[in-house]
Structure 1
Amino acid sequence: MEHVVIAGGGPTGLWLAAELRLAGTPVTVLEVLHERAPHSKALTLHPRTLEILAFRGVAEPFLAEGRRIPSGHFGGLDERMDFGALDTPYPFTLALPQARTEELLEAHAVASGAAVRRGHRVTGLAQDTDGVSVAVAGPDGPYTLRAAYVVGCDGTRSTVREAAGIAFPGTDATTWGWLGDVVLDAPPEGAVYAASGPAGGVMVVPMPDGVHRIVGGDPDSNGPDHPGELTLDALRAKVTRIAGTDFGMRDPRWLSRFGNATRQAAAYREGRVLLAGDAAHMHYPAGGVGLNVGLQDATNLGWKLAATLAGTAPDGLLDSYHAERHPVGADLLLSTRAQTALMNARSPEGQDLRTLLSGLIATVPAFSRSLAERLSALAVAYPPASPAHPLTGHRAPNLELAGGSDLFTALRPGRYVLVDFTGTPAPTQVPGADVYAAPRPDGRPAWSTVRTALIRPDGHVARASDEADTDGPALRADGATFETSPRP
């Protein structure tokens, strides 16, 4: 029996495979494509995704190749959010084509011991109390795998989701965006060019190999029906109408359209079947968040599923994947719908709304930062089920640890990390966790009174205690209970 079968070898499936292998869990990835798709739907890695890559020790190759953009847009508004104000080692978005991102993620998954089978398509499944039987069409014919769990990372048309009987409610497309990866003889200057108005909106972003991505929308693309295949002449006409120039576009590498159909799986878990990434949520690609949320789904799920298979998970840990990530997916859909509405606000009233919100981004730093934290996923928190310390469920920043290390480095093994700020000798051994002493955090008021904090393998606070908590509460790691270090 396979421990875990992952359907889909895109970014979400590959990252989940590596997360499972970090805990020693055997995993097989089944990907229908014989070779990686040459075109890149996604182009952006957000700060939280870069943090996740960092606390697994694999961020450097991405950072070395990607282009750092110190700002981000919300709904294509003229003023951009300043990511430099964010409390992260990565205060920027990273422009890197998805094809290269997948290549790096696959190398990481394979190096970790994951089996990746290309040209293998999941055609159905049947689960029982002991496992899941997975029907597969492979290059040499059909066969069946038996797995303890199956995870559908197989996109918006997920076979796994349908076979598990999980509903995918939502709305159909009412407007269509367009993109072209083209060569420009007269490209605009700067990291990102944007123009918008009643005629529509367009952005131009440099890509590797002398190619630029042009992406946008216009009133001609509204309606429930796909408006036909995009041609270079049609793209040139749209861009010229919006920007006043076609930038000398020629030699298209890829022309495509995409709609704003929006759906979310009713459940992220059905027995021994789970969903992550686009199989769990479908939306307009506003802000370039889709790939990022998929990797964040996988980071939340990986350690929980591994602990469940190892028999060390407390009751309900695997169910907490849906409880924590489904609301994040719902918020993602809310945000992308709101941005879609702003992108299509072409009436005089709509243009005034865009001007108003754009002005707030430029003149109200707190507003800009709130939007940036939301878009970058740094604001994601998992509210505890019962009263707890205010930090519980929140993302932990990259705290300084004693000896010149930091929290992200400490998280590389994929275990819990207990951080002790008391200055007294910390316990040297704690079941299920690695223990580190740390100086008091400077410049972070929410952490100023914390004495001990237990950080989950996904970088969120599991438990914390502060100076008002005189009894030193019990904390949990992988189902084991232990006490914080004693007070002096």
Structure 2
Amino acid sequence: MPENTVMPENAEVVISGAGPNGLMLAAELALAGIRPVVLERLPEPSDEPKANGMVGQVVRFLDQRGLYEEISGRAGPPHPAPAFFFGGMTLSFAEVVDNPVHLLPIPQPKLVRLLDKRALGLGVDVRRGHELTGFGQDENGVTLTVTGPRGEYEVRTRFLVGADGGKSLVRKRTGIAFPGTTDTSGVTRMAAVSMPDARRTPNGGIDVPGFGPLGFGFNRLERGTFVFAELQPGKPVIATGELAGEPIPDGTPLTLDELRDSVRRVLGVDLAFEAPTGPGPHALRRVTVQNTRQAENYRAGNVFLVGDAAHVHSGMGGPGLNLGMQDVANLGWKLAAHLRGRAPEGLLDTYQSERHPVGERVMTHSLAQSALIAPGPGVTALRQLFGELMRKPENSGYIAHLMAGSEVRYDIGDAHPLSGRMVPELAVGSRRVTELLRAARPVLVDFTGGVEFAAAAAGWADRVDVVSESTSDTPVAAVLVRPDGYVAWAADRPQETDGLREALTRWFGAAA
């Protein structure tokens, strides 16, 4: 080798993209003893408004990692929301048994900064201003070409994870197909604005002169949709959705006058608003294309996709971070186990088999919600009928579990009703099962206070935590919980250890 040849540096895992999913994955790996490198082309976290919170099982996942209290500012477990939106319709979950819809509002720029701090605190190498520009892989790993502030350099890694958004370079360069649909029939315009406080209504909506009150969030009307959401005090966001009119040349910036004209067409009246004061950005943007697409494969050799790199869809109902963050929770511990030589054969393949069907379900309800907000009398009749059906608790409960992702049941290899589902909120003495998952390690919880379950799991003591405490009001005798919070095995009676060793071997490798 020539003397002037520069050897590439090495990293066990490289993550392309320092958004919420990339940073959360980095933290998950760091908890398992892996120190990943995160590459991000932007020199600083973006202030551009995107998602405004999280909905569904992702809130419970963040609680498992101890982040819920930090984000919400509230002590204790998350409480389900009494109502939420589906297709722009407000659904009541007041009569839904075990309502799974949890909400955690937080602007995405704030979430990114919080997760960035967490990742750095765990020793993650986050490189801002460093862009992945190319890569090639072989059976042993991936060689990356990175452009940084001091020029181009190479990194050699065992695994590359694309968390680089819907236009993912990682997905495109890997050649993974991205089938789905592209809808150009509508146009959405939105901006943060300033308007008189007197127009606010007590329920978070707005009273429009000449039209009347409109509720918080989506309002579907015969000529389009109108959105009003004040998630930051004094800086409400207004958005409209209409059928596309005359084509708008690419690169044409949205103006407030264009948004005012759109509001007039949708509502039939003028609405006065001005540009907000203070620093931006102010979310002034126009969307003329809505893609609903999913990667055919979430893995190609040593390259994986998470979040928007793996799936894109409408933001209605807020499914994006619920889907992406749980991709991360599912993949992180499996990558770490493989790198530590503890992964059973085929463990990495279960990322595709478990998460791809979940993405398909989100595509389905995302498209259904888009159909429910379309203008026209036919959709009005459909919404009326849908609303009647949703007044039945069993139907609203079905939609609640669909939106929360709590309908998900992985093929876990165990027949117990809890197996394959996210562990319920069970008490273990004075603690919750959730609190036992802070370190992102598997945990066997014995609610009988005996020794039989611990004895059966003795060969896995180096990688599975065992917690035993006698609890009388728990519906199960023991549960084995994976690091992502999903139950791998459960037993209803004391000393019922059948299948426990098999489950431990299947998910965490052979006994030491």
TM-score normalised over the length of structure 1: 0.89
Q: Name the residue aligned to 1:436.
A: 467
Compute the displacement of 1:472 (Å). Answer: 2.7
Q: Distance between the aligned counterparts of 2:145 and 2:94, measured in 1?
A: 45
1:26 and 2:57 aligned? no
SS at match of 1:308: helix
Compute the displacement of 1:359 (Å). Answer: 2.7
Q: Name the residue aligned to 2:193.
A: 182
Kept in 2, the 8 Å contact 1:204–1:214? The answer is yes
Amino acid paired to 1:237: D
Q: Distance between the aligned counterparts of 1:169 and 1:382, measured in 2?
A: 24
1:289 and 2:319 aligned? yes
Q: Name the residue aligned to 2:481.
A: 455
Residue 269 to residue 222, structure 1, CA distance change in 2 (3 Å): farther
Q: Name the residue aligned to 2:396.
A: 368
- Which structure 2 residue ranges, 5 or more long, are not aligned? 1-9, 205-215, 277-281
User: Comparing 1-10 with 245-254, which one deviates more in the overlay?
Assistant: 245-254
Residue 354 to residue 300, structure 1, CA distance change in 2 (3 Å): same
Q: Distance between the aligned counterparts of 1:36 and 1:18, measured in 2?
A: 17
Compute the displacement of 1:357 (Å). Answer: 1.1
Aligned counterparts, 1:91-106, within 5 A:
92-106=102-116
Q: Name the residue aligned to 1:117.
A: 127
Q: Distance between the aligned counterparts of 1:405 and 1:75, measured in 2?
A: 38
Q: 1:152-198, CA deviations, whole angstroms, 9 ceiling, x for partnerless residues?
A: 00011111111212111222232333322222223344242542221
Kept in 2, the 8 Å contact 1:4–1:26? The answer is yes
Given the alignment, which residue of 230, 236, 248 partners 1:212? 236
Q: Distance between the aligned counterparts of 2:470 and 2:368, measured in 1?
A: 42
1:133 and 2:143 aligned? yes
Q: Distance between the aligned counterparts of 2:139 and 2:509, measured in 1?
A: 26
Compute the displacement of 1:380 (Å). Answer: 2.1
Compute the displacement of 1:248 (Å). Answer: 3.6
1:397 and 2:408 aligned? no
Q: Distance between the aligned counterparts of 1:320 and 1:171, measured in 2?
A: 26
SS at match of 1:261: strand
SS at match of 2:423: coil
SS at match of 1:286: coil
Q: Name the residue aligned to 2:210.
A: none
Compute the displacement of 1:254 (Å). Answer: 2.1
Q: Name the residue aligned to 1:152.
A: 162
Q: Distance between the aligned counterparts of 2:72 and 2:59, measured in 1?
A: 8
Given the alignment, which residue of 344, 367, 383 partners 1:354? 383
Amino acid paired to 1:125: F
Q: Name the residue aligned to 1:485.
A: none
Q: Distance between the aligned counterparts of 2:105 and 2:147, measured in 1?
A: 35
1:251 and 2:263 aligned? no
Given the alignment, which residue of 298, 315, 318 partners 2:328? 298
- Which structure 1 residue ranges, 5 or more long, are not aligned? 483-488
User: Comparing 13-22 with 37-46, which one deviates more in the overlay?
Assistant: 37-46
User: Comparing 12-21 with 410-419, which one deviates more in the overlay?
Assistant: 410-419
Kept in 1, the 8 Å contact 2:28–2:329? The answer is yes
Residue 179 to residue 246, structure 1, CA distance change in 2 (3 Å): same
Q: Name the residue aligned to 2:306.
A: 276
Q: Distance between the aligned counterparts of 1:396 and 1:224, measured in 2?
A: 49
Q: Distance between the aligned counterparts of 1:18 and 1:209, measured in 2?
A: 31
Kept in 1, the 8 Å contact 2:38–2:125? The answer is yes
Q: Distance between the aligned counterparts of 2:25 and 2:153, measured in 1?
A: 24
Q: Distance between the aligned counterparts of 2:315 and 2:15, measured in 1?
A: 24
Compute the displacement of 1:343 (Å). Answer: 1.4
Q: Name the residue aligned to 2:297.
A: 267
Amino acid paired to 1:419: V
1:325 and 2:355 aligned? yes
Q: Distance between the aligned counterparts of 1:37 and 1:156, measured in 2?
A: 16
Q: Name the residue aligned to 2:17.
A: 8
Kept in 2, the 8 Å contact 1:81–1:372? The answer is no
Compute the displacement of 1:228 (Å). Answer: 5.4
Amino acid paired to 2:114: L
Amino acid paired to 2:464: A
SS at match of 1:62: helix
Residue 479 to residue 411, structure 1, CA distance change in 2 (3 Å): same
Amino acid paired to 2:394: A
Q: Name the residue aligned to 1:71.
A: 83
Q: Name the residue aligned to 1:312.
A: 342
User: Comparing 367-376 with 312-321, which one deviates more in the overlay?
Assistant: 367-376
Q: Distance between the aligned counterparts of 1:86 and 1:357, measured in 2?
A: 20
Compute the displacement of 1:326 (Å). Answer: 0.7
Q: Distance between the aligned counterparts of 2:241 and 2:71, measured in 1?
A: 29
Kept in 1, the 8 Å contact 2:80–2:101? The answer is no
Q: 1:217-247, CA deviations, whole angstroms, 9 ceiling, x for partnerless residues?
A: 1224698997954321222233344446665
Percent sequence identity is 38
Compute the displacement of 1:470 (Å). Answer: 5.1
Q: Name the residue aligned to 1:44.
A: 53
1:82 and 2:108 aligned? no
Kept in 1, the 8 Å contact 2:190–2:286? The answer is yes
Aligned counterparts, 1:336-355, within 5 A:
336-344=366-374, 346-355=375-384
Q: Name the residue aligned to 1:486.
A: none
Kept in 2, the 8 Å contact 1:71–1:84? The answer is no
1:196 and 2:220 aligned? yes
Q: Distance between the aligned counterparts of 2:410 and 2:37, measured in 1?
A: 29
Compute the displacement of 1:441 (Å). Answer: 7.8
Kept in 1, the 8 Å contact 2:327–2:355? The answer is yes
Aligned length: 471
SS at match of 1:168: coil
Kept in 1, the 8 Å contact 2:56–2:322? The answer is no
User: Comparing 110-119 with 364-373, which one deviates more in the overlay?
Assistant: 364-373
Q: Distance between the aligned counterparts of 2:491 and 2:162, measured in 1?
A: 37
SS at match of 1:250: coil
Q: Distance between the aligned counterparts of 2:41 and 2:95, measured in 1?
A: 40
Amino acid paired to 1:368: S
Amino acid paired to 1:433: V
Residue 413 to residue 256, structure 1, CA distance change in 2 (3 Å): same
Compute the displacement of 1:376 (Å). Answer: 1.8
Compute the displacement of 1:374 (Å). Answer: 1.5
